[in-house]
Amino acid sequence: MNACNPNTILLIVHQKKSVSGHIGTLLSSLGYNLDKRCPCIGDPLPQNLENYAAVVVFGGPMSANDCDMEGIKKELDFIPDVLKLKIPFLGLCLGGQLLARVLGAKISPHELGHIESGFTKIYPTKIGEDWFVESDIFYQWHREGFDVPDGAQLLAKGDKFPNQAFRYKNAFGIQFHPEVNLRMHLAWLYFAGYRLSERGAQTRKEQLTLRLKYGKNINLWLDNFLDNHLLNNIK
């Protein structure tokens, strides 16, 4: 911890009813206060970050290329301040894409129109092999992916979307959704079930069956990642 012992995690979400899932549960259990903000519905982002131990930016239905959206623009302007102050940063799906864009990388859909919706295997790189001991299967829900920014380390690859996780100093961008618990999963399948008909999506039955098989290991991975990688960077 630094001199002022920050004990609050800033959570940036993208819809009014967005929740923090398993990440919120784990961070609360570690004793952190959670400050959830949604710039896309008008919430201001903090101007003073000295009381924040880390920043987590979640996924959402919009694109990191939606610079005409006020909320997305605010985040793109805000993230460089987080990086400059060396505050640990985690971007999930859209959050990872926003980080990549801030660092100069391209965000784009699959060239054949595929999406990822369901549980897929990722392939750790040589640098990332020690980061994915607990699980190499993760939940996906996205139609765009990121290129790897200059100066960043690629930690994991994928089949349809080749870049799945990268590190830039003490900032991490990941394409998958380790935060999604069963309650979130069921809500996404219900309220955005239309996406299950898109190319590359697993069926509802397949997804729920695979959650029973891989969910526990994904939770173990997230627990280890937060404790030993993201929060380990707090000085």
Q: Is 137 helix (H, G, I), strand (E, B) or coil?
A: strand
Cβ neighbours of residue 232 closer than 8 Å, sequence gap 6 or more: none
Q: State the Cα–Cα distance between residues 151 and 158, nearest whole angstrom.
A: 20
The distance of Cα 38 from the centroid of its chain, to the nearest Å, equals 15
Q: Which residues of 18-32 are buried (b: 16+ CB within 10 A; e: fewer)?
A: bbbbbbbebbeeeeb
Phi, psi of 232 (to 5 degrees): -65, -15
Which tokens in the block code for residue 79? 């993230």
Q: State the Cα–Cα distance between residues 29 and 54, nearest whole angstrom.
A: 15
In this predicted structure, the answer to whether residue 2 has a pLDDT above a threshold of 90 is: no
Write down all domains in the chain, each with its CATH number in brackets: 8-233 (3.40.50.880)
Q: How many CB atoms lie within 10 A of CB 77?
A: 12
In this predicted structure, the answer to whether residue 234 has a pLDDT above a threshold of 70 is: no
pLDDT of residue 232: 82
What average pLDDT does the segment 199-211 reach? 97
In this predicted structure, the answer to whether residue 163 has a pLDDT above a threshold of 90 is: yes
In this predicted structure, the answer to whether residue 147 has a pLDDT above a threshold of 70 is: yes
Which tokens in the block code for residue 3? 């001199």
Mean pLDDT, the chain, whole residue set: 95
Helix or strand (DSSP H, E) at 34: strand 33-37
Q: State the Cα–Cα distance between residues 234 and 110, nearest whole angstrom.
A: 35
In this predicted structure, the answer to whether residue 186 has a pLDDT above a threshold of 70 is: yes
What average pLDDT does the segment 96-121 reach? 97
pLDDT of residue 233: 63
Q: State the Cα–Cα distance between residues 99 and 91, nearest whole angstrom.
A: 7
Q: Enter the pTM of the model.
A: 0.96
